[in-house]
Every structure is written in C-alpha cells, then in structure tokens.
C-alpha cells in the first residue's frame, strides 16, 4: 500500500531521535515489514499525572493474557484512560465513561439527540434557562433510583458556587462561569439558568460530545461531606457508581477496568449483550495489534499497517468515521513577546504544513484534511472554506519574514506537547512530522515532548506555565461545537483561551446565542470562518479510526464521531 522508501524518508527525523533511545532499528524493521509502532519517548520536562486511578501515563503496558476466552466476555484495548469519573475534574472520560455513565441525553446511530435519563428538555423564551425532566425508571448501579435530586447535585457540584475554584475541566470552568443558578423546580425537573444563552447545552448533556458532563452522579455518595470534598472525590474514582449500561467491577490503576453488563439499565434495547467487558490501557499500537492477532483481545484501535496481520488471524477492520480531529492549540497567543501572537506567524505555520505527508503517515482512508479545529463535515456550521490551508512554503517563509523572524531568526525554541492517544494512531509521530516541516520550511527550533494527557490539559486550562508552547493533540469530533467555542473564544478569563480580542469575544457570544437550527448553522459558519482566518487554533483535518476486531466479533457498528469504544450494544459474537 505504501512504498517503504517513502515511509523511511517521512520518518527519518523520528528515527534519528529514537536512535538515542536505542530503538531505531526496531522501528525501521517494523516499517519495512509494513507495521508501525507508536514511540514512547519522553522528556525530563514531562508533567506528572494526577492522583486519580483513571489517569494515564505514556508508557507501554504488556498485552493482556487471554482475558477474552468464553462467550460471556469481550476485551477492549485503548491507548489511554483520559480523565476522572466526576465531570468537575474530567478532562476526557471517553474510553470508559461513555458506557459506564448514565447520560441525561443520548444519541442515535446518526449522532442525533434522543432521550436518556432526561425524557425531555425545554428552553425558556429568553434562551437563558434550560429545564430537564428526569425519567422515573433509571437506576444507579447500586440499585438506587436516579432522581432530580441527583441531577441537581451533579449540576451544583460541576457548575455551582465554588466549582470554578476547584474544577480542572476547562468545560466545567467555562460553564460554571456562565451559570447563574441551578435549582430543582419540580419533583422530577431541574433547571439551570445561564448568564449568556447556551444554545448547545443539550449537546453538552449528551453522550455524543465525547465528554462526560451529561452523566449523573449519585448524591448519596457525598452524604456527610462537602460537595467539593477532595477525599470523597478520590473515593468515588476508586468506586464509581453510575447509571450506564456497564457496571464497574474492579479497577487496577493505569492498567485495567473490569465491567459487567448492568441488568437494571432502563433501556433494554441498549443493554450490552455481553456479560463482561474488560478494558485495558495499552499505549503501544503494535502491542494492541499483537494482542488481537493472538486472540488475547477483541477490539482495539490500530492503523492500516496492521490490516493484513489482523485479517490473517481471522479478524477485520471496522471503521469509526470522522472520529477525531487534530487540535492544535497555541497557548498564550495574545502575549506580545510570544512569536505566534502575530497573525503572520500563525498563518505561516499553517502554510508550511504538507497534508500529503500526513496522508502518507496514516493512509488516505484514515486521514482527511477537511474542517477547522473541532468543526468537521458532519458538524453544525461546517463549510469547505474551513478546510486546512494549502501547502505553500514560499508564502510561509514570506509571512514569517514579515513578522520579523526571517528563517526562524529570533523565534526561539517551540515546544510541542503531545501524548499517546486513546484512539488515534501515530499522534506523537504526526507531531514530529509537523515539527520537522516547521524546522525545514521556517527554520523554527521545534521540539516534541510526549507527556501525560491529563497533566498537559490541566496545565493548559488552569495555569500559564506553558504559555508560548503548543499542544498537538487529538480531540473528539462533535456535532455541536458551542461549548468548546465558548471556552476557547468567548471567555476572556479562561487560562486556556485562544485570544484576547474583544471583538472576537463579542462575536462569539452573539453567535452562540442563536438557537433555531437554520439560523444557528449560519451564525456558526460565519463565526468559524473568522476564527479560522485568525489562526489562533487550527487543525490539519480529521481521522477515520480503523478499529481492529478479532475473529470472535461477527458484527459491531461504532458510532460516527467517536474515537472511543461506542455502541457496545451492537456487538454480536460468532
């Protein structure tokens, strides 16, 4: 499928860095054999993980040992855990939370909103207050009913008084700042009132954003403790009682989560037909593929290079369309001393990127250079004008010189922070490709550092410690980008904001206040075009995830726009 020499050329700089670690020969061998391995190199500046048992660190785990034997268990491997179990501290619970948590709003197979724990939701005439009605037949995993009191507690913990001071989730912080009050307005209804219209609030409460802000926590778990008690939150991480289709049986920090299908799940059509599901964190792509080949795993994100290997063992690839996008964040871009505070620099960095090299790394079936940031073709507000900049090295050089940095002179080092993705293969390698292009085309001293996902996100969202640096990351694609747009472009107090332009703040708040669907699409399309042209955030495109499945899996239909294990209720075993 891909010429060996082309791959060797594209990865030459990666290999040169890996020689220091003594693993370059292994990488070259895997490339020559048609199999690529994700690097695990780190730097002394890597940030530490949090205390949560659900956090990940960029190290390889051994392949699980034959845990998928028998007809009552499915073993799933992912690249990392992501965040914690409570939305307040959640930086991405995709791998486990989507199936473990009970969400107020769910999505159908086309990512359209359908009732979840909430049977319906309404917005006030002024667009500021949303009211959700809680169903009467949802249960937590301990058998206790899910009530409006639990929803009120969850919302108060996540966005109520004191939440801004303790939250580590950028989404929680942003929405807490926009929340006026949360109150139980009837025995089965809860309302939230915002300062500014939040047209995307139902989407935020759903399982199709990839985040876990729509799940409901059991109020009883915090009885006798402050709503933001840190010790109790850690206890919850160790024994997370939720209301989703999978019940937690055991958790081994940084290694494994064991689940059981929850018989009390209210939607019998969405119950997971497999008795047990084991979830392992295996950052190394080649290890995941080997586990599939050996029959020690059933589902795992892989790359196209493993397709023949998996097929030979009786397995196949299943596609997760438009599952993730490359989110490139320039931190502190409004600070004058930072080179990319200049628009010409931000544009030059984009013109220097060659999409063909990313296509060669991933394969054209996987990497698609369309969309801007979190706005992909299936998103509200997408237009083809948002697609990635054309590759134009000459223009890139000219723009950088106009900004006062000819051939990178005076630019200084550019640190690129990244991590091993839960689902997207070759994330560090793709960052290294970009760094190499910026070195070769612009003369910028770019350096890639592979660290801990949760810690990097925390540093970006709650401090200024990595201002002047860049984050090269994956992120979940989304139908409705209102919440993430508000966080990055509409909140001047957000540490992780993209800019400090009052006109853009105002334009963002105005566009995000539009609720009718047609008008909302038009408003977001215009706003996204403005933001794309400014270049404070950019993207090279999105990824269709190739999931490897073992010979035991007869059928599985993962949802679109999900880079994590989704729609497990559709799994059929042979």
Write out pLDDT tens, residues 116-173: 999 999 999 999 999 999 999 999 999 999 999 999 999 999 999 999 999 888 788 8
Q: Which residue has the tokens 């990497």?
A: 367
pLDDT reported for residue 91? 59
Q: pLDDT per residue over 215-266, tens digit each?
A: 999 999 999 999 999 999 999 999 999 999 999 999 998 899 999 999 999 9
Q: Are strands 179-186 and 118-123 parallel, antiparallel or unpaired?
A: unpaired
Q: Considering the entire predicted model, what is its pTM?
A: 0.79
Q: pLDDT per residue over 405-418, tens digit each?
A: 999 999 999 999 99
Q: pLDDT per residue over 313-354, tens digit each?
A: 999 999 999 989 999 999 999 999 999 999 999 999 999 999
Q: For residue 104, what is the DSSP state?
A: S
Q: pLDDT per residue over 193-212, tens digit each?
A: 999 999 989 989 998 776 78
Closest CA to 27 of 547, 452, 543, 428: 428
Give dist(CA 44, CA 418) in Å, integer: 14
Residues 6+ apart with CB under 8 A from 342: 403, 404
Exposed/middle/buried for residue 144 (C-beta within 10 Å: 0-12, 13-18, 19+)? middle
Q: How many CB atoms lie within 10 A of CB 234?
A: 15
Q: Are strands 129-134 and 113-115 parallel, antiparallel or unpaired?
A: unpaired
At 555, list the tokens.
């059928």
Q: pLDDT per residue over 78-126, tens digit each?
A: 987 766 889 888 756 778 888 999 999 998 877 788 999 999 999 999 9
At 376, list the tokens.
């992909």
Contact indicator for 11, 430 with CB cutoff of 8 Å: no
Give dist(CA 277, CA 266) in Å, integer: 19
Give dist(CA 242, CA 218) in Å, integer: 7
- What are the residue ranges of helices labelled H in 241-378? 285-294, 307-312, 343-351, 355-362
Contact indicator for 537, 330 with CB cutoff of 8 Å: yes
At 245, list the tokens.
């289709």
């Amino acid at each position: 499928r891909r010429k060996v020499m082309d791959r060797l050329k594209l990865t030459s700089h990666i290999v040169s860095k890996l020689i220091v670690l003594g693993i370059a020969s292994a990488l070259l061998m895997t490339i020559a054999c048609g199999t690529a391995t994700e690097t695990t190199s780190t730097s002394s500046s890597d940030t530490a993980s949090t205390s949560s048992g659900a956090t990940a660190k960029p190290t390889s785990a051994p392949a699980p040992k034959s845990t998928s034997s028998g007809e009552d268990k499915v073993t799933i491997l992912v690249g990392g855990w992501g965040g914690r179990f409570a939305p307040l501290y959640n930086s991405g619970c995709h791998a486990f939370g989507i199936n473990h948590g009970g969400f107020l709003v769910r999505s159908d197979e086309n990512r359209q909103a359908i009732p979840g724990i909430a049977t319906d939701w309404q917005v006030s005439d002024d667009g500021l207050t949303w009211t959700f009605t809680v169903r009467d037949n949802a249960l937590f995993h301990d058998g206790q009913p899910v009530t409006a009191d639990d929803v009120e507690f969850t919302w108060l913990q996540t966005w109520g008084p004191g939440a801004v001071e303790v939250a580590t989730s950028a989404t929680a912080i942003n929405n807490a700042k926009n929340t006026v009050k949360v109150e139980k307005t009837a025995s089965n209804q809860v309302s939230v009132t915002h300062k500014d219209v939040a047209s995307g609030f139902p989407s935020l409460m759903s399982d199709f954003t990839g985040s876990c802000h729509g799940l409901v926590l059991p109020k009883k778990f915090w009885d006798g403790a402050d709503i933001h008690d840190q010790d109790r939150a850690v206890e919850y991480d160790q024994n997370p009682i939720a209301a989703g289709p999978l019940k937690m049986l055991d958790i081994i920090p940084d290694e494994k989560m064991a689940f059981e299908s929850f018989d009390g799940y209210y939607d019998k059509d969405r119950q997971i037909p497999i008795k047990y599901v084991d979830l392992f964190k295996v950052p190394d792509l080649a290890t995941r593929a080997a586990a599939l080949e050996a029959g020690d795993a059933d589902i795992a994100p892989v790359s196209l290079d493993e397709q023949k290997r998996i097929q030979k063992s009786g397995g196949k690839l299943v596609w997760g369309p438009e599952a993730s996008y490359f989110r490139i964040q320039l931190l502190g871009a409004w600070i004058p001393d930072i080179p990319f505070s200049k628009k010409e620099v931000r544009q030059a960095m984009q013109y220097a990127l060659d999409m063909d090299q990313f296509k060669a790394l991933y394969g054209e079936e996987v990497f698609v250079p369309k969309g801007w940031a979190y706005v992909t073709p299936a998103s509200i507000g997408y237009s083809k004008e948002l697609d990635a900049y054309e590759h134009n090295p000459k223009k890139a050089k000219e723009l950088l010189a106009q900004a006062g940095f000819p051939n990178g002179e005076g630019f200084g080092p550019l640190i690129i922070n990244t991590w091993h993705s839960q689902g997207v293969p070759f994330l560090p390698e793709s960052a290294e490709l970009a760094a190499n292009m910026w070195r070769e085309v612009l003369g910028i001293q770019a350096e890639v550092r592979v660290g801990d996902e949760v810690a990097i996100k925390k540093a970006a969202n709650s401090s200024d410690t990595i201002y002047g640096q860049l984050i090269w990351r994956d992120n979940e694609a989304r139908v409705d980008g209102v919440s993430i747009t508000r966080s990055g472009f509409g909140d001047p107090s957000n540490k992780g904001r993209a800019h400090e332009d009052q006109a853009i703040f105002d334009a963002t708040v105005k566009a995000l206040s539009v609720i009718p669907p047609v008008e909302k699409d038009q408003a977001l399309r215009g706003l996204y075009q403005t933001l794309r042209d400014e270049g404070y955030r950019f993207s090279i495109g999105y990824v269709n995830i190739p999931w490897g499945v073992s010979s035991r899996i007869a059928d599985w239909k993962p949802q679109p726009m999900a880079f994590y294990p989704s729609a497990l209720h559709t799994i059929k075993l042979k």
